[in-house]
Amino acid sequence: MTRTVAFDPITLEVLRGAFDVVADEMELVLLRSSHSTIINEALDATCAIFDAKGRTVAQAISLPVHLGVLVEVGKKLAAQYPEGEARTGDLYVLNDPYDGGTHLPDIAVAAPVLHDGALAGYVATMSHHSDVGGSAPGSVAANPVDHLAEGLRLPLVRLATGGETNTDVIEIIEANTRTPKTMRGDLAAQISACHIGAERFGSIIERWGRETVDSAIEALMDHAEALTRAEIETIPDGNYEFTDWLDGDGGSPPSEPLPFTVTVGVSGSDIHFDFTGTAPQVPTSFNNVPASTMSACYFVVRALAGDRAPNNDGCYRPVTAHLPKGTIINPEFPAPVAARSIGLLRVCSAVNGAMGLASPERFNAASCGQTSLLTVGGHDPEKGENFVGVIGGPWRGGLGARPGKDGIDVTDTEMSNCYHVPIEATEALLPLRFNRLSLWPDSGGAGKWRGGLGFEAEIEWLRGHGLVSVRRDRHVIPPWGTQGGLDGPVSHTAVRRADGTTEQVPSKGLLRLEAGDVLLLKTTGSGGYGSPLERDSAEVLEDVLDGRVSVDAALELYGVVVVDGAVEPEATEETRRNLGTRTQP
């Protein structure tokens, strides 16, 4: 046991809980009083508190995708509004991806915390807003001219000064969104959360004294660092290289598949992520700024330590990275970055793959690896109004098979952690109808442990028209299996037009739907783990009976012969023997 905390462990635990509660209270206010579906249904929002140096002290966990992001926001706050600049009642706002943000819809609102006139720290919230202008409704166009065409860009500026709201800034923001009412409500929720956070952080200092709080923060960071280092130490030293691919850049014509290459270097308790070999930046908006890329690295490191390590700056200390400039994971301004989330998932699956090489018993096969996010804008003649929204249902396919466990069907995975938007909620808001939403049989990669399944959906456009911004992937490169497990299938997108013709649709781009058109989605599941020939035939039978695996796939991939709802043991043994011989190198 390494005893590293030079602070009374009891007071430390009490204060850790107190800081967490501040962040939780902020999140409570934020989530329950926000207006947009993305925040209050999908919980795409997060809260954190920082010390006076801008280091993360605690974070209300709703989305790992915000992990690294708020690290940068904290640093920016400390640099721009340090002691002397920050005043009680100040509020700051930021969304600039090239200066601390991630993509423009993610707006951070922050407030300083002062005690006896001295700066003690900051509180911050970040929410995904439904629209910040730009060329496409929802502000996540796949093909803008450049970053400036993506929407309103807010450098870190004051939203309020000493308690006085800077209404000029609010007016500028409201003038640059297609949904000013929702924007107003969501910003108000963020501001409320900051007020409550600042007040609560202040009362902790009031009770325990500034000196104790400051040294507890140092000790908590050291403690989290020690826990994280202890986990990294369990991984054998070495360099582990892995490449995963994005289908292409979604341009016209689309590019060839884009490599995401990472070499994870483990040395003692240090871990280094080197992205040399990763594709150059793309002209479309699938680039990730470093803050965003790093959150994928932090996520994988945190997945090692689990939920038990405090979520603060100390967790990030063992982590270093090389992100080559001008690549899709560290683009030069003004490359567009709005549709970052797919690239982010690919960073995550590449890092996951490399970690799996280092420690196969702790990492899974590839998950679905795409956000099936379809934002849509248009006019509803029945309601006589324009709308912007997200086509609901699930956004993800399956969780990749784990060593010792099957994957999970249709779940959010990795960096994201959102609720599916209920069909009934989507149908109430948008002129569309889900004619089908069901598991996609055989979409979980075969393996000793099977990958979680993806889904198929048929969505009918009912009236007027809708302009859909399609951001999907894995239409070319499937989610990989590992340790002998098979890949999942590739995803498909198509439209069955009102006239009965069917058009295949690429994974990225803009799509116009007219009344009577039906959008056809097949979203892949995930990869399998271990050889499917080693899967217990009783488990294969269960999957067949439940329609997760077809009789054909049971035979061809698993070598299990199912006839009339039962396994034929002898035929199965023979088939498995033959398949085993065939797959021998």
- Please say whether the beta carbons of 82 and 102 come within 8 A: no
Is 2 a binding residue for other proteins by CB under 8 A? The answer is: yes
Number of residues that bind other proteins (CB under 8 A): 99
Site string for other proteins, 221-250 (x = CB under 8 A): -xxx-xx--x--------------------
Q: Which stretch binds other proteins (CB under 8 A): 259-267, 286-294, 320-328, 414-422?
A: 414-422
Nearest to 318 by CA among 402, 226, 407: 226
Range list of H helices, 441-560 = 537-545, 551-556
Q: Which stretch binds other proteins (CB under 8 A): 50-58, 80-88, 240-248, 399-407?
A: 399-407
Those residues with Cβ within 8 angstroms of residue 212's Cβ, 6 or more apart along the chain or in another chain: 11, 15
Is 32 a binding residue for other proteins by CB under 8 A? The answer is: yes
Within 353-372, the residues that bind other proteins by CB under 8 A are 363-364
Within 130-149, the residues that bind other proteins by CB under 8 A are none
- Please say whether the beta carbons of 194 and 30 come within 8 A: no
Distance (Å, whole) CA 446 – CA 452: 10
Q: Which stretch binds other proteins (CB under 8 A): 103-111, 332-340, 474-482, 539-547?
A: 539-547
Is 36 a binding residue for other proteins by CB under 8 A? The answer is: yes
Is 402 a binding residue for other proteins by CB under 8 A? The answer is: yes
Is 417 a binding residue for other proteins by CB under 8 A? The answer is: yes
DSSP percent split of the chain into helix, strand, coil, nearest 5: 35, 25, 40
Nearest to 505 by CA among 374, 397, 356, 389: 374
Neighbouring CB atoms inside 10 A of 83's CB total: 13
Interface residue with other proteins, options 394, 489, 527, 528 (CB under 8 A):
394
CB of 331 to other proteins, least distance (A): 27
Interface residue with other proteins, options 129, 302, 472, 475 (CB under 8 A):
302
Instruction: Categorise residue 194: left if φ over 0, alpha if ψ from -120 to 50, beta otherwise.
Output: alpha
Q: Which stretch binds other proteins (CB under 8 A): 330-338, 370-378, 394-402, 528-536?
A: 394-402
Q: Which stretch binds other proteins (CB under 8 A): 79-87, 263-271, 305-313, 482-490?
A: 305-313
CB of 454 to other proteins, least distance (A): 10
Which helix or strand (DSSP H or E) is residue 188 part of? Answer: helix 180-208
> Which residue, chain included where needed, has tokens 């299990």?
560
Neighbouring CB atoms inside 10 A of 3's CB total: 7
Interface residue with other proteins, options 140, 303, 335, 554 (CB under 8 A):
303
CB of 491 to other proteins, least distance (A): 16
Distance (Å, whole) CA 26 – CA 412: 24
Interface residue with other proteins, options 174, 458, 556, 573 (CB under 8 A):
458
Within 508-537, the residues that bind other proteins by CB under 8 A are none
Type of residue found at 155: P
CB of 115 to other proteins, least distance (A): 12
Within 168-187, the residues that bind other proteins by CB under 8 A are 181-182, 184-185
CB of 467 to other proteins, least distance (A): 21
Q: Which stretch binds other proteins (CB under 8 A): 12-20, 152-160, 282-290, 524-532?
A: 12-20
CB of 170 to other proteins, least distance (A): 14
Interface residue with other proteins, options 84, 306, 384, 585 (CB under 8 A):
306
Is 375 a binding residue for other proteins by CB under 8 A? The answer is: no
Q: What is the 8-class DSSP label of residue 316?
A: G
Interface residue with other proteins, options 157, 169, 170, 425 (CB under 8 A):
425
Within 37-66, the residues that bind other proteins by CB under 8 A are 37, 40-41, 43, 61, 63-64
CB of 476 to other proteins, least distance (A): 25
Type of residue found at 385: E
Q: Map 217-240 to HEC letters.
A: HHHHHHHHHHHHHHHHHCCCCEEE
CB of 353 to other proteins, least distance (A): 13
Instruction: Decide whether 115 or 576 has the Cβ nearer to other proteins.
Output: 115
Interface residue with other proteins, options 168, 211, 236, 428 (CB under 8 A):
428
CB of 506 to other proteins, least distance (A): 25
CB of 488 to other proteins, least distance (A): 16
Distance (Å, whole) CA 347 – CA 474: 14
- Please say whether the beta carbons of 287 and 335 come within 8 A: yes
Within 195-224, the residues that bind other proteins by CB under 8 A are 195-196, 206-209, 212, 222-224
> Which residue, chain included where needed, has tokens 């085993």?
580
Which burial class, exposed, middle or buried, applies to 464 when counting CB atoms under 10 A from its CB (0-12, 13-18, 19+)? Answer: middle
- Please say whether the beta carbons of 390 and 373 come within 8 A: yes
Q: What are phi and psi of 55, to 5 degrees?
A: -90, 140
CB of 112 to other proteins, least distance (A): 19
Within 89-118, the residues that bind other proteins by CB under 8 A are none
- Please say whether the beta carbons of 529 and 447 come within 8 A: yes
CB of 251 to other proteins, least distance (A): 30
Interface residue with other proteins, options 99, 380, 427, 568 (CB under 8 A):
427
Interface residue with other proteins, options 166, 192, 215, 269 (CB under 8 A):
192
What string of DSSP letters covers 383-405? TTEEEEEE--B-S--PPPPBTTB
Q: How far is CA 93 from CA 110, 155, 254, 309, 385, in A?
A: 6, 8, 36, 29, 31
Within 72-91, the residues that bind other proteins by CB under 8 A are none
Distance (Å, whole) CA 501 – CA 496: 6
CB of 46 to other proteins, least distance (A): 11
Instruction: Decide whether 273 or 395 has the Cβ nearer to other proteins.
Output: 395
Neighbouring CB atoms inside 10 A of 417's CB total: 17
CB of 261 to other proteins, least distance (A): 22
